[in-house]
C-alpha cells in the first residue's frame, strides 16, 4: 500500500474497518490493516492508536501501553484518546494508580472523556 493510492477519506474508512475487526475478535487481521496503513503513513496517529487497541483486545496490555507511550504520547503527550486507552491498558494490566494518573490527564471537554467516564465506572 503506497501513500499515493490512499486519500484521507479512504484512510479514515480503513481505520474504521481495522477497529471493527478488533471489536469483532479478529485482532490479527485488524493489526495487519493498521500496520499496512502505517507503512503508507508512518505518522498517522489514529492508525497507531488502532494498532495499540489490537493489543489491548488481545490482553497484551504491556504492548498496548508501549505503543501508546512510545509512538503516540511521546510526540503528543496531550493526545486525549491515547491517554484514555493508556488508562484502560494500565487498569487492565493491574496498574491502577498509574491508570488513574493517565485518566486524570484526559481533558474533560474531549470526546475521550466519555471513555474515561466508562472506565471509571468499571472501578479503575
Which pLDDT tens digit goes with each residue over 79-108? 999 999 999 999 999 999 999 999 999 998
Cα 26 to Cα 11, 15, 30, 67, 97: the distances in Å are 19, 14, 6, 19, 30
pLDDT of residue 4: 57
Cα separation, 106 vs 43, in Å, equals 22
pLDDT of residue 119: 65
For 31, other C-beta atoms within 10 Å of its C-beta total: 21
Q: What is the pLDDT of residues 31-70, one digit of tens each?
A: 999 999 999 999 999 999 999 999 999 999 999 999 999 9
Domains of the chain: 3-121 (1.25.40.10)
Calculate the CA 12 to chain-centre distance: 14
> Percent of the chain, pLDDT > 90?
75
Kindly provide the b/e burial profile for residues 48-64, where b requires at least 16 CB atoms within 10 angstroms of the residue's own CB: bbbbbbbbbbbebbebb
Residue 124, pLDDT > 80, answer: no
Contacts of 112-120 spanning 24+ positions with Cβ under 8 A: 112/80, 112/81, 112/83, 112/84, 113/80, 113/84, 115/81, 115/84, 115/85, 115/88, 116/84, 116/87, 119/84, 119/87, 119/88, 119/91
Which pTM was predicted?
0.88
**Cβ atoms of residues 22 and 33 within 8 Å:** no
Amino acid at each position: 500500500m503506497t501513500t499515493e493510492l490512499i486519500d484521507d477519506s479512504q484512510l479514515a474508512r480503513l481505520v474504521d474497518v481495522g477497529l471493527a475487526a478488533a471489536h469483532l475478535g479478529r485482532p490479527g487481521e485488524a493489526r495487519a490493516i493498521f500496520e499496512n496503513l502505517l507503512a503508507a503513513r508512518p505518522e498517522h496517529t489514529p492508525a497507531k492508536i488502532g494498532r495499540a487497541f489490537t493489543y489491548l483486545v488481545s490482553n497484551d496490555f504491556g504492548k498496548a501501553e508501549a505503543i501508546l507511550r512510545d509512538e503516540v504520547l511521546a510526540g503528543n503527550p496531550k493526545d486525549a484518546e491515547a491517554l484514555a486507552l493508556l488508562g484502560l491498558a494500565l487498569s487492565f494490566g493491574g496498574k491502577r494508580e498509574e491508570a488513574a494518573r493517565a485518566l486524570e490527564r484526559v481533558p474533560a471537554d474531549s470526546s475521550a472523556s466519555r471513555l474515561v467516564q466508562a472506565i471509571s465506572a468499571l472501578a479503575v
